[in-house]
Structure 1
Amino acid sequence: MSKPTTLTDKLAKARVPSHPHVADRAKRGLMAFVTSTGASAEVVQQLADGSAAQGIGRIGLSALTPGGLACQRGCAFCCILSGEDGGTITEAEAVALYDALAPLAGAADGRDWHPDACPSLDPDTRTCRAYDARPMICRAYVSTDVEACKRVAEGEPADGPGTLEPYHTYLAAIGLSRAALKGTKRVATYALSRLAAAAVEGETRDAALNKARHAPSELDAELRRSKRDLSRAT
């Protein structure tokens, strides 16, 4: 009789379209998480809602001390979002962001400062009203040049802004979690800007999540973009 396939077995076999060293780091983080806590229903849920990936990303960020950053309170050019997506976030991040913004429904938001700004912004101070609940994409996006941020916000390419590597590890961890749980548990991702807009416009949490939920192909597309960005950087 064959041995039952365990969650660690599934993670070991999981593949993701990411840069090899990033995928390896993400897999090692997930394996350590599962083996240290056991494959309980709670652990499976943390893989599914992205809490595990988020934790791996935050640990990576906490170990970094990047220098020469131009980021300052109220700068906010990085919060002018392109398209209707605004960035990929997990279910755990989407719920936390919704809960932080829902009490502000009906108030002026970032779009009163700039039509493409994140709804999480205060339009007067240009500071994030959901700062403690901000997702990995916000925590990992930094810049060494404010003028470059302005140009990027206007749709022009410029050197200076970019995402720190723990964001890419976090993305790979989401993809690996999805591969390991395929057929047993859904691992969804969400559009940051759509979720934030739904929250400040007074939508219910369920309606906001439904409106912001990505098609399954979007995570793979974001992983491929991540791999291209890292390949260009190296």
Structure 2
Amino acid sequence: MSKAPTLSDRLSKARSGSAPEVTDRARRGLMAYVGAQADVARAGKELADGTAATGVGRVALSAMSPQGLACAEGCAFCCILSGDDGGTITEAEAVALHRALAALAGQPDGRAWHPKACPSLDPETRSCRAYDARPMICRAYVSTDVEACKAVSDGQAASGPGTLGPYHTYLAAIGLSRAALKGVKRVSTYAMARVAAAAVDGASLEGALASARHKPTELDAELKRSKRDLSRI
């Protein structure tokens, strides 16, 4: 009788939909993450809720020291969001974000500064009130030009702002996790802005997750956007 495939077996055969070199980095990171877990059930849970993918992305980000960045506290043009999605985040990130903002329910939020601003912002200081719980999309988005950020926030194309490589590795890791756990556990992604809005509007965690959960096709679309962006570098 053949043995059931292990998580490592599943990851080794999974495909992410991202660029091959990015997929390889994500796979190595996830394999190392799973290999370091003594509890197989916990490893599977952390693949499913995105804890593993987020960890892979953060480790890669911590190894970087980008130079010439114009980012500073209170410069929040990057937090003016197009649409109501705000970016793809994992379940673990969504839970952490909701917990960080739930105590602020009923208080003025970033939308009092700008109608399209992230609800996580303090409308007076324009600083992030969930900074320690901010998702990878926020951690990896940087800029070398404040004026370019202003232009982008107005819907104009400008060079300067962009996402660092570890964000793409993180997305690939989510894609690999979903493929490896197909038929075993659901791997969901969420709309960052909708989670934040639900939290400051007083919604429960369960309600926030239900209202912000993506359809599976949204991760596919985000991976395609990532692959397209990487092809331009």
**TM-score after normalising by structure 1:** 0.98
Residue 18 (str. 1) matches residue 18 (str. 2) = yes
DSSP-derived class of the 1:174 partner:
helix
In the alignment, is the contact (CA less than 8 A) between 1:50 and 1:90 conserved in 2? Answer: yes
User: Which residue does 1:118 correspond to in 2?
Assistant: 118
For the aligned residues, what is the CA RMSD?
0.8
Output the amino acid matched with 1:212: A
Partners of 2:99 and 2:174 in 1: CA distance = 22
**3-state SS of 1:190 partner:** strand
- Report the equivalent of 1:83: 83
Q: Aligned runs of 1:1-234 on 2, under 5 Å?
A: 1-38=1-38, 40-233=40-233
Q: Which segments of 5 or more consecutive residues in structure 1 lack a partner in the other structure?
A: none
Aligned counterparts of 2:4 and 2:90: Cα–Cα separation in 1: 29
Letter of the aligned partner of 2:187 in structure 1?
V
Q: What's the offset of the Cα at 1:3?
A: 3.0
- C-alpha offsets along residues 159-204 of structure 1, whole Å, 9 cap, x if unaligned? 0000000000000000100000001101000000011000000011
Q: Aligned equivalents of 2:115 and 2:158: distance in 1?
A: 22
Please tell me the residue identity of whatever aligns with 1:6: T
Return the offset for 1:36.
Answer: 2.4
1:44-79 Cα offsets, whole Å, 9 max, x none, are 110000000111111011100000000011000000
Aligned counterparts of 1:136 and 1:10: Cα–Cα separation in 2: 25
Partner SS, residue 3 of structure 1: coil
Q: Is the 8 A contact 1:191 1:214 kept in 2?
A: yes
| Secondary structure of 2:36's aligned partner | helix
**How big is the shift at 1:32?**
1.1
Structure 2 distance, partners of 1:10, 1:231, is 28
Q: Following the alignment from structure 1 to structure 2, what is the Cα–Cα distance between the partners of residues 218 and 38?
A: 32
SS at match of 1:37: coil
In the alignment, the residues of structure 1 paired with residue 104 and residue 39 of structure 2 have an alpha-carbon distance, to the nearest angstrom, of 38
SS at match of 2:190: strand
- Distance in 2, matches of 1:96 and 1:39, equals 22
* Separation in 2, partners of 1:205, 1:34: 27
CA contact (8 A) 1:7 1:39 kept: no
Q: Distance in 2 between matches of 1:4 and 1:140?
A: 37
How many angstroms does 1:5 deviate by? 1.4
* Counterpart code for 1:27: R
Give me the TM-score of the superposition, normalised by structure 2. 0.98
Give the counterpart letter for 2:217 in structure 1: S
Unaligned regions of 5+ residues in structure 2, if any?
A: none
Report deviation, 1:37.
1.8
Moved over 2 A (4+): 1-4
Q: Distance in 2 between matches of 1:103 and 1:5?
A: 43
